[in-house]
Amino acid sequence: MIDKKWAQTTFQVVLVVLVLIALLLTGVRLLLTNAFVQIEYNMPYFPEDGYGMTKAQRLKWGAVALDYLLNDEGIDFLGDLTFEDGTPLYIERELTHMEDVKVLTGAFLKVWYADVSLLVFFAVLAQRSGRLSAFTQKLSRAGLYTIIALGTLVLFLMLSFNAVFTGFHRIFFEGDSWLFLYSDTLIRLFPLRFWQDAFLFVGVFTLLGGLGLWLGFRSSTQKEKESTESNG
């Protein structure tokens, strides 16, 4: 027979992982919007392109790159693009990398959908079994653990972004396929400053999401407990 305490602890760990992934990938999904690109390019500190591309051009081509990651088109969607003088917008190495990024983006989104669906399933199951209060308590704890984990990560990002950025690419991409020259279009459209802000945004978003879960469900659970005690 399964030990009840062990089962509850296991479920709590599973819930922490699901909440952490859901918040992280929700932040990633928000990055994949023209709104984020627009905001980032309009930041006063955002670096200009040293090779002459205007902000309007960067916004235009940045939006097209984003469209490619989310649509069903092949690499020709980017491969057929050219500058005004007829020069290809992307070299072969960049196109290969964008194919890899598209595959990774699709995998992230599938995990996100599955993760959120599982959380909804557990919530419905808890509601129907009369254990919603216990479930929200666990969500509150999951939020607290998320704060601890992401607080550490955000601090590390602020102190050593290059290490996190490099580690991320070494995990998800082969070799040095993600390294480019400053003159390459991908770097001109999405310089290091863009990725610093993107990683920080996801970290802070997840941190705030964890805070919302912790405080929101803790307060609702406390109110429910107080109401039960007063009725009794």
More confident residue, 89 or 219: 89
3-state secondary structure of 52: coil
Q: Which long-range contacts (CB under 8 A, 24 or more apart) does 1-8 make?
A: none
Residue 228 pLDDT grade (very low, low, confident, very high; cuts 50, 70, 90):
very low
Report H helices in the chain. Answer: 4-31, 34-41, 55-70, 76-79, 92-128, 132-159, 161-172, 185-189, 192-231
**Residues of the domain holding 211:** 4-231
Q: Provide the pLDDT for residue 229.
A: 46
DSSP code, position 33: S
Could you read off the pLDDT of 29-85 as tens digits, one per residue?
Answer: 999 999 999 999 999 999 999 998 999 999 999 999 999 999 999 999 999 999 988
Question: Whole-number mean pLDDT of the chain?
Answer: 88
Domain count, the chain: 1
Q: Which residues contact 71 (CB under 8 A, 6 or more apart)?
A: 77
DSSP code, position 174: -
Could you read off the pLDDT of 130-153 as tens digits, one per residue?
Answer: 888 889 999 999 999 999 888 887
